[in-house]
């Protein structure tokens, strides 16, 4: 599928769910994709991208930023505290703030560096053992803790369990965001971004539907 088709589908989903045109941002998830494919999407005018590894992003985005104006890259994968400094220098937003230790590290670095990317707190809506994110029952307290540290928390993020109806998870995330006064909702991927938009997503993270399947070989 092409970038313009995905944009059309986003516009239609916004309209169908009574959302304002342009209220949903498309994050093109470029992880693992060959540079030619990423460059082609940059040529088509896309400027907002998502990566899930610090190292991988560090290897390609400084060059692309030199070639293209206005590029914005968001970290959507887990962040180790020992990579936090590098992440703060590489990304405009981090969608995977998920534990107090990381929050404290980011707060300390923000003070030192004088800036901090926008932060989304990841919530493990399916309470899955292998998945990152704070448990839904702990979200309110963790959001408050991050705010007390002075961190720029702009929203919440989730990755629903593969075998469950994603809309229920999106609705839960929207509810937690609303009662905490958070506007940003990073939710929805290639297979379910229209459902996420119906539940209020402000940022959809779409990879394979734009770039084609990832080849991990
Ligand atoms: C890879 C990834 C995506 C994109 O997945 P697709 O199914 O290719 O759209 C979205 N969010 C996160 C957190 C990811 O790691």
Mapping DSSP onto H, E and C, the string for 42-59 reads HHCCCCEEEECCHHHHHH
How much distance in Å is there from the Cα of 137 to the middle of ligand 1?
A: 25
Ligand 1 closest atom vs CA 189: 9
How much distance in Å is there from the Cα of 205 to the middle of ligand 1?
A: 6
Count: domains in the chain: 1
**pLDDT confidence of residue 127:** 98
Q: What is the pLDDT of the chain when averaged over all its residues?
A: 97
Atom 4 of ligand 1, residue of closest alpha carbon: 207
Structural domain contains residue 217: no
Tell me the pLDDT band of 215, cut-offs 50, 70 and 90. Answer: confident
Show the domain range for 85: 3-211
pTM of full prediction above 0.85: yes
Structural domain contains residue 73: yes
Structural domain contains residue 113: yes
Ligand 1 closest atom vs CA 193: 9
Which residues form the pocket of ligand 1, taking CB atoms under 6 Å from any ligand atom?
29, 31, 52, 76-77, 159, 189-190, 205-209
Structural domain contains residue 104: yes
Structural domain contains residue 216: no
CATH number for the domain harbouring residue 141: 3.20.20.10
Span 59-118, pLDDT tens digits: 999 999 999 999 999 999 999 999 999 999 999 999 999 999 999 999 999 999 999 999
């Amino acid at each position: 599928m092409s970038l313009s088709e995905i944009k059309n589908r986003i516009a239609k989903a916004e309209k169908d769910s009574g959302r304002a045109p342009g209220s949903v941002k498309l994050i093109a998830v470029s992880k693992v994709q060959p540079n030619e494919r990423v460059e082609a999407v940059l040529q088509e005018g896309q400027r907002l991208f998502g990566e899930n590894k610090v190292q991988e992003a560090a290897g390609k985005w400084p060059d692309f930023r030199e070639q293209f104006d206005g590029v914005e890259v968001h970290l959507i994968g887990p962040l180790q505290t020992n990579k936090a400094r590098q992440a703060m220098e590489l990304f405009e937003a981090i969608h995977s703030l998920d534990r107090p230790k990381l929050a404290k590290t980011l707060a300390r670095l923000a003070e030192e560096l004088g800036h901090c990317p926008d932060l989304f707190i990841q919530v493990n809506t399916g309470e899955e053992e292998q998945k990152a994110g704070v448990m839904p029952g702990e979200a309110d307290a963790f959001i408050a803790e991050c705010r007390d540290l002075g961190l720029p928390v702009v929203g919440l993020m989730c990755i629903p369990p593969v075998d469950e109806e994603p809309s229920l998870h999106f609705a839960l995330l929207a509810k937690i965001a609303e009662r905490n006064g958070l506007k940003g909702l990073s939710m929805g991927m290639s297979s379910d971004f229209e459902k996420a938009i119906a539940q209020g997503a402000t940022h959809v993270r779409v990879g394979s539907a734009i770039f084609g399947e990832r080849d991990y070989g």
